[in-house]
Structure 1
Amino acid sequence: MSTVRIAAAAAHFGRDLEFDLARIAKVIDDARGSGAGLLVLPDAALGGYLADLRHPDPDVLPPALEPDDPLILEVARLAAEMVVCVGYREDGGTERYNAAVCVSGDGVLGRHRKVHLPAGEAAAYAPGDRFDAFDTPVGRIGMLIDYDKTFPESARSLALDGAEILACLSAWPTSITNRAPRMAQDRQARLFDLYDQARAAENQVVLASSNQTGALGGMRFLGQAKVVGPGGDILARTWAKAGLAVAEVDVSAEVDRARRTLHHLGELRPSAYRETSS
């Protein structure tokens, strides 16, 4: 794959699905105007995230959409020649999942259900059970949904499955228990950047990190969308405001360059590691 422009979005989405779809269409247009071949939209861009992470109200949860919901098919139509990743609450029959889907005008390219659930989210979602990379016109991609990236094993699993691009979709808020007077001093803001850079550098991959902005209920979201290179360097970012972080990357060449001398995946010693418990 030759050079591709990668766009990671910072934007606000709520419960109004018609509004959300209109905003997605606008962000796709903006990304297309920037020449992007890949756009990563935030977690819960269709229907919004939880309004309270500590005690979610079961009566005001995000709407659950079936995997082939017309809204998802419309995002695919809007994507056309682009590859677009978007998050939503999935109706899985007896369970509901915090989910992401990657689409183009040709249809669905890949799916992910969030595996790692923080305490409050477990009241609204069931956990997914796997990490799978998939091929797209812009390269092999793996998706993570916000808290997934806290765990190194998540990104490592995708890298071992051949992903050279990690799409990290988030609805990542400021600290709920220890609010800081300024965003730059917020613990969760620091961790959000740290995880993005660490997951890219330790796996020597390109990472596109999107996030919600604004507020929903008691939640205030960080923004801080960014594109990170395989050395952990931030190539583009939005800071706290809504917008697009856009970077042009020759993904395969940059990954190969990062792995030329020190090839982290090739130098793993699995026999020396303690197995994680189930």
Structure 2
Amino acid sequence: MRPAGGHPVTVATAQYPIEAFDDVEGFRVKAARWVQDAASRGAELLVFPEYGAMELASLLPEAERGDLAAQLHGLQPLREAFVETWRALAVAHGVTLLAPSLPWRLDDGRFVNRAWLCGPDGGLGHQDKQVMTRFENDDWGVAAGQGLRVFDTPVGRLGVLICYDSEFPLLARALVEAGAELLLVPSCTDTRAGYQRVRLSAQARAIEQQVAVIQSPTVGEALWSPAVDINIGFAGVYTPCDHGFPPDGVLTQAQDATPGWQLARLDLARIRALREHGQVNNHADWAHQAARLAPGIEAVALA
């Protein structure tokens, strides 16, 4: 359910390194340390990045962890322990938490990129990536999931756009029309250009839809993994560029690649108010596009 009175929420977005473990317990210790750190600083919503769970591939035999297809299959026996670890941490600290996404095998044998949302009461929900990159489609064999979801949580109604999904405005619009007031964008990019595409798209979605957008990237090198060997990104929280918010729409953004949290105090009620009293009316004016396009596009030769 939504927070009573729509009180401001402290959000934390992770700049998360892919690391290698000797055993599953090493993963659990790291997860607990990260959640404890954010919760101890007052965070109520924690966002982890796309494919952060690929660090579990470090537990596979060397031949498997160095092979893209073998990694997908090798991770599946670990997935229940993975989800339960994050679910238990959300309950223990009383937070809402988007866990790092991981490849998830469906009953039909296909693999999707799945992010699990964990609630403070132990509830679980998941969102699969909708539009796949060339690497996922052509090289890795990770397929698109079916359908978008919105999640009612103690911090508000959330939608999740996994990395490349954020670059498609109609996906964000569908979530907002379904009531999403905060969009989470977990990401994993291996070039600065890739990071900028996702960041700029996240900011564009915040402006277009008059919502807040939280981006969480992977960072650093994991050269033992052919899937997530290089990771470039900066965690950030973005808002509309309007009354009461930063002129550039950047509520917070990491300044370097150091792993850690970016925290921000986010007042969703103030963002919702912009739809009634802002300098512009992007959310409501979205529908005007169809009317403007209805006559078609006229080609004109200059006389």
For residues 214-237 of structure 1, what are the alpha-carbon distances to aligned partners after superposition, in whole Å with 9 as ceiling and x for unaligned? Answer: 123363211301111233611112
1:207 paired residue among 213, 219, 223: 213
* % identical aligned pairs: 27
Aligned AA (1:108) = G
Contact 1:109 1:136 in 2 (8 A): no
For residues 183-210 of structure 1, what are the alpha-carbon distances to aligned partners after superposition, in whole Å with 9 as ceiling and x for unaligned? Answer: xxx4234323211211111111111110
Aligned to 2:110: 95
Rounded Cα–Cα distance in structure 2 between residues aligned with 1:31 and 1:2: 19
Aligned to 1:264: 282
2:236 paired residue among 226, 233, 238: 226
Aligned to 1:147: 164
Contact 2:211 2:240 in 1 (8 A): yes
Corresponding residue SS for 2:283:
coil
For residues 74-111 of structure 1, what are the alpha-carbon distances to aligned partners after superposition, in whole Å with 9 as ceiling and x for unaligned? Answer: 21111121000012221222221101111023223431
Deviation of the 1:153 alpha carbon: 1.6
- The 5 A counterparts of 1:81-92 are 81-86=94-99, 87-92=101-106
Deviation of the 1:5 alpha carbon: 0.3
Rounded Cα–Cα distance in structure 2 between residues aligned with 1:134 and 1:70: 23
Corresponding residue SS for 2:201:
helix
Contact 1:9 1:210 in 2 (8 A): yes
Aligned AA (1:266) = A
Corresponding residue SS for 1:29:
helix
1:192 paired residue among 198, 204, 209: 198
Aligned to 1:38: 45
Aligned to 2:62: none
Corresponding residue SS for 1:210:
strand
Aligned AA (1:113) = D
* CA RMSD, 1 decimal: 2.7
Aligned length: 260
Contact 1:66 1:91 in 2 (8 A): no
Aligned AA (1:3) = P
Contact 1:206 1:255 in 2 (8 A): no
Corresponding residue SS for 2:234:
coil
1:236 paired to 2:256: no
Measured at CA, do residues 146 and 250 of structure 1 come closer, stay the same or move farther in structure 2, by a change above 3 Å? same
Contact 1:237 1:244 in 2 (8 A): no
Deviation of the 1:161 alpha carbon: 1.1
Measured at CA, do residues 258 and 265 of structure 1 come closer, stay the same or move farther in structure 2, by a change above 3 Å? closer
Contact 1:43 1:212 in 2 (8 A): yes
- Kindly name which structure, 1 or 2, has the bigger radius of gyration based on alpha carbons: 2
Corresponding residue SS for 2:161:
strand
For residues 45-86 of structure 1, what are the alpha-carbon distances to aligned partners after superposition, in whole Å with 9 as ceiling and x for unaligned? Answer: 2234999xxxx7322347444898132122111112100001
Q: Which runs of 5+ in 1 are unaligned?
A: 175-185
Corresponding residue SS for 1:117:
coil
1:58 paired residue among 48, 57, 69: 69
Measured at CA, do residues 113 and 63 of structure 1 come closer, stay the same or move farther in structure 2, by a change above 3 Å? farther
Measured at CA, do residues 59 and 110 of structure 1 come closer, stay the same or move farther in structure 2, by a change above 3 Å? closer
Measured at CA, do residues 189 and 234 of structure 1 come closer, stay the same or move farther in structure 2, by a change above 3 Å? same
Q: TM-score, normalised by structure 1?
A: 0.83
Aligned AA (1:24) = A
